[in-house]
Amino acid sequence: MTRETLAFVATDTPEAEAALAQLRGMYGDVEPAQADVIVALGGDGFMLSALHQYLPLKKPIYGMNQGTVGFLMNEFSRDDLAERIHAAQLSTLHPLRMTAVDRTGTAHDALAINEVSVFRETRQAAKIRITIDGRVRLEELVCDGVLVASPAGSTAYNLSAHGPILPLEAGILALTPISAFRPRRWRGALLPRTARVCFEVLNPAKRPVSAVADNEEIRDVVRVDVAEDRDVDLYLLFDPEHNLEERILNEQFIP
């Protein structure tokens, strides 16, 4: 078995930093650019940060949970790490690309692994027109916000907003309202992964709106375009018995 060279990175908690020191002593450590695999120690938030930070390296990331939920992470263990990584299954994700135009006319570009969301900034509800592939589908949504979620992100904020869980291979995106006031009964939509979504903010001076791609926020936007970027690949490694597809499927049976 070929032994992969590993780069260890960790979130800034005492537990994760202690695990980082132990694993470096047991398995060695190189810089991420020289590694075959990056091992991330933390929770889902840290994994998202690591995926964004190391995206240009095009390296697979193997996460071990040192956080709270750990949906994107494997179980933490110091033992047999090289063997686990060698046996791990590769999941390839494609992020969402957000282009948000603010009130000054400046365009901001960002990638989202989980979701792109727009939110009201004040006590005034947001009013948003939704266009899909150039066709207006909802003339005015009055809401706290609305989001587009990838399959990998469908179990995160999307699920908390009562959106659907999406299997990885389903080829669809979730369009989910956040506290819709009008139309009150609208529960969102399932879109093909090729869909191009446009949110137009109505009356942005009175009802300002922010756009968020994962953790990157752009304030006072007037228009937000969202589409899956198939030219960008993200690589995650999972233990065979707990691969990402199985985790997403299992989430649908949790009471």
Question: Phi-psi region for residue 254, left (φ > 0), alpha (ψ -120 to 50) or beta?
Answer: beta
Q: How far is CA 244 from CA 10, 33, 71, 224, in A?
A: 21, 25, 8, 29
The two tokens of residue 195 are 């869909």
Q: Which of 231, 227, 225, 213 is nearest to 157 (CA)?
A: 213
Residue 116 to residues 1, 29, 63, 82, 110: CA-CA distances in angstroms? 41, 35, 23, 35, 9
Residues for the chain: how many in total?
255
Determine whether 239 is an active site residue.
no
Residues 7, 12, 16, 17, CA torsion sign? positive
Burial-class residue 8 by CB neighbours within 10 Å (0-12, 13-18, 19+): buried
3-state secondary structure of 119: strand
| 178/203 Cα distance (integer angstroms) | 19
Task: Characterize the bridge pairing of strands 96-102 and 221-228.
Answer: antiparallel
Active-site residue (options: 29, 44, 214, 225): 44
Q: How far is CA 180 from CA 2, 38, 126, 159, in A?
A: 53, 41, 10, 15
CA pair distance 248, 78, nearest whole angstrom: 26
Give the active site residues: 44
